[in-house]
Amino acid sequence: MKFDQPATRNPIDRLQVVGQPHDRIDGPLKTTGTAPYAYERHDVVANQAYGVIVGAAIAKGRVVGIDTVDARAAPGVIAVVTHQNAGKVGKAKAITAKLLAGPEIDHFHQAVAIVVADSFEQARAAAHLVRIDYQAAPGRFDLARGRESAVKPKTDEEPPDSAVGDFDGAFAQAAVKVEQTYTTPDQSHMAMEPFATIAAWQGDKLTLWTSSQMIDWARRDLSEILGIPRDMLHVISSFIGGGFGSKLWVRSDAVMAALASRAAGRPVKVALARPHIANNTTHRPATIQRIRIGAGRDGRITAISHESWSGDLPGGQPETAAMQTRLLYGGANRLTSHRLATLDLPEGNAMRAPGEAPGMMALEIAMDELAEALKMDPVDLRILNDVQSDPEKPGRAFSHRDLIGCLRTGAQRFGWDRRKATPAQVRDGRWLVGMGMASAFRGNLTMKSAARVAIDGRGKVTVYTDMTDIGTGSYTIIAQTAAEMLGVPLQQVEVRLGDSDFPVSAGSGGQWGGNSSTAGVFAACMKLRDAIARKAGLLPVDAQFADGRISAGTRSFTLAEVVGRNGLSAEDAIDFGDLAKTYAQATFGAHFAEVAVDAATGEVRVRRMSGVFAAGRILNPKTARSQVIGAMTMGLGAALMEEAVVDTRYGCFVNHDLAEYHVPVHADVPVQEVIFLDEVDDKSSPMKAKGVAELGLCGCAAAVANAVYNATGVRVRDYPITLDKIIFGLMQSAPDAAFS
């Protein structure tokens, strides 16, 4: 099915099942511990051995010698695989890092060897017996030092730079100006489920049970790395315990498990140790962002510039932190740019809401600073500078945009009118109390997605697609879509996901998964509706599907009796046309936060958070709310605590576990309110939905940062906003008051 015209009325618009707050159908499996994750698939293949990866102990240099004699002689050891005996191992085009090191070492904890043994304990013990001699080389580990040598990156997607009008001239003449530099740190995904794979060969065919967000990408990349045809690869990922972008591409657990299984002659299971995940896999790269905004005294922006620097391994890509600035606010004179420094740190790549998440951490503080310079309310400033078409391409209207509705609704619900504009005016005992807000923005992405839908002689519907569920509720919204389209109860639908034998879906990532995958199911269901109608002798255009029946006029049949003993099935894909080029497509929101800061210690406590979002049709308000509160919690973490600390001497992240890489817990988020505006976007998909999972993160950290400033009068421009930075600011601004 080609989607190249705005959607008209269709069966989804009935909203009997879609749009309703159904419980997740995989919930009972998750809560009883019976959902089968990759490492736990003891049932799929017998005689599984255990692999433990040895990571590089240097960040840059060469392996000059490997001694595996003691390791191979250790109890229970079956095989030891290194670059010397692994055979030809290639590099996937879509992956920046090489997943097996040797002899060159590109980053710390890059996989150098894997030891296979009968038990995990034996493999782990023997891994310590592998002796590796390195020749270290100088490396580049500091973005600040690499900023001057950063270059304009090459990219096949959006151009890294943009310019409209005369920014320099307009900024120079602006009545009110803001010019500041902001930094965001490296961050680690820290998904609860580690990277894990079971690999088994049957002749020349390889089957992997792995934790992957994108099944078809995994097959593509493994084909390139291992040098085997794609049709000889079977990838299964039924349940995934979090990914946040880290599992978009295969990592060393999958590659090393495959190599180890081939060497051992039996299935091998591998899970990356938690310390290896931070340095062996991917992370969100740090950024340095310079923002300049000029406005008239009425608050209208006349000039806006956003420049961003980030780093990656050679051949990598930048963190596209300035992209949202091209679309979010008006201003006739505009400039954005991205520069990429070569660093010898582990691969920088997608982490939840790449680009917008760190970009809005900076932009929305800058907007707060502009509002203060103008003596203008921050909500009013954003409303004044709202646009309804692409500011860089004024003839390109937004498909649907209600940022103003989000801002006004959020301000009213949060009690924004009680905020004191002058900072450090509200105290609650020893606590300084403040409010902050920020806009939310995330581009709306779509991707071709296919499904097969079958109905059997009992009227049971089964959906097959290689879409994945990373905790987002894919099983549920796909079931809702099929139930709505075929007019059957939700309980009558079974959803089969995460298997490369199924039709290729969009996969989970980029906020495209829910909208695209359900649109693919929509397409398959439309084809199946047509087949059922014709078999019943009805005109498809007249057929109505409800209560497990197909009807037209006075004729009515149960679906079971129409499809018969053999059943019927149909397969189709949604193929998105150029509507995303014709219309600017994005999702919008507004974040509000109230914080209390201890005047003596600088400790920050978030008292309440609120978010209002406009993201097209919400397919399941319950699962969507869960996604948004998770994203808002992640934004709180980015604001106050998350930082992968680089040891610039040795080129590694030193806080590489959950003990030292701090993330928020339930006690850090006492109250969260989520509101979805009632809207549809007919230019996004036949579902009239958009993505929502990443929107809740974008801008959230800045709302917290702005609240900290409103509480204390201390403006922190370098994330995370830790208490040492607040205390220093309090001491600088009012040393006596800070401890009163």
Residues 115 and 194 in one domain: yes
> Total structural domains in the chain?
3
Regarding whether 424 and 511 lie in a shared domain, the answer is no
pLDDT, mean of residues 45-73: 98
Task: Report how far apart the first and last C-alpha atoms of the chain are (Å, whole number).
Answer: 68
User: What percentage of the chain exceeds 90 in pLDDT?
Assistant: 98
From 193, 372, 643, 694, active-site residue? 694
Indicate if the pLDDT at residue 458 is higher than 90. yes
Residue 541 lies inside a defined structural domain of this protein: yes
* CATH code where residue 573 lies: 3.30.365.10
Q: What is the pLDDT of residue 157?
A: 78
In a domain, 722, yes or no: yes
Among 579, 599, 614, residue at a domain's last position:
579
Residues 561 and 674 in one domain: no
**Same domain assignment for residues 78 and 195:** yes
Residues 693-714: pLDDT tens digits? 999 999 999 999 999 999 999 9
Domain edge (last residue) among 247, 280, 313: 280
Task: Kindly state whether residue 73 falls inside one of the protein's structural domains.
Answer: yes
Cα 218–chain centre separation: 17
432 lies in some domain: yes
Instruction: Dump pLDDT digits (tens) for 652-675.
Output: 999 999 999 999 998 999 999 999
Question: To the nearest whole percent, how much of the chain has pLDDT over 70?
Answer: 99
Domain boundary residue, one of 280, 306, 337: 280
Whether 218 is in a domain gets the answer yes
Q: Model's pTM, two decimal places? A: 0.97
pLDDT of residue 155: 81
Is there a single domain that holds both residue 651 and residue 512? no
pLDDT tens per residue, range 85-105 = 999 999 999 999 999 999 999
Tell me: do 251 and 123 sit in the same domain: yes
pLDDT of residue 650: 96
From CA 228, how far away is CA 139, in angstroms rounded? 34
Are 667 and 616 in the same domain? yes
pLDDT tier for residue 734 given thresholds of 50, 70 and 90: low
The answer as to whether 496 is a domain residue is: yes
Residues written for the chain: 740
Read off the pLDDT band of 732 (50, 70, 90). Answer: confident
What is the pLDDT averaged over residues 169-175?
98
pLDDT tens, position by position, 332-379: 999 999 999 999 999 999 999 999 999 999 999 999 999 999 999 999
Pair (478, 398) in one structural domain: no
Domain containing 564: what range? 2-35+446-579
* Catalytic residue check, 307: no
Residue 415 to residue 308: CA distance in whole angstroms: 34
What is the pLDDT at residue 434? 98
**Same domain for 111 and 205?**
yes
| Mean pLDDT of the region 430-453 | 98
Q: Does residue 233 sit in helix, strand or coil?
A: strand
The predicted model gives 68-80 an average pLDDT of: 98
Within-domain flag for 438: yes
pLDDT tens-digit readout, 226-249: 999 999 999 999 999 999 999 999
Q: What is the mean pLDDT of residues 167-185?
A: 98
Provide the pLDDT for residue 220: 98
Q: Compute the mean pLDDT over every residue in the chain, rounded to the nearest whole number.
A: 97
In a shared domain, residues 430 and 476? no
Alpha carbons 377 and 383: distance in angstroms, whole number: 10
Q: How confident is the model at residue 733 (pLDDT cuts 50, 70, 90)?
A: confident
d(CA 726, CA 469): 40
pLDDT at 738: 47
Q: How confident is the model at residue 156 (pLDDT cuts 50, 70, 90)?
A: confident
Mean pLDDT of 39-67: 98
Which residue shows structure tokens 């390109």? 396
C-alpha to C-alpha distance for 636 and 703, rounded to whole angstroms: 9
Does one domain contain both 542 and 682? no
In a domain, 295, yes or no: no
User: Among all chains, which residue has been given the structure tokens 């800070």?
Assistant: 738
Mean pLDDT of the region 289-310: 98
Phi and psi at residue 454, in whole multiples of 5°? -125, 150
Same-domain status, 22 and 84: no
Q: What is the mean pLDDT of residues 674-689?
A: 98
- pLDDT at site 735: 58
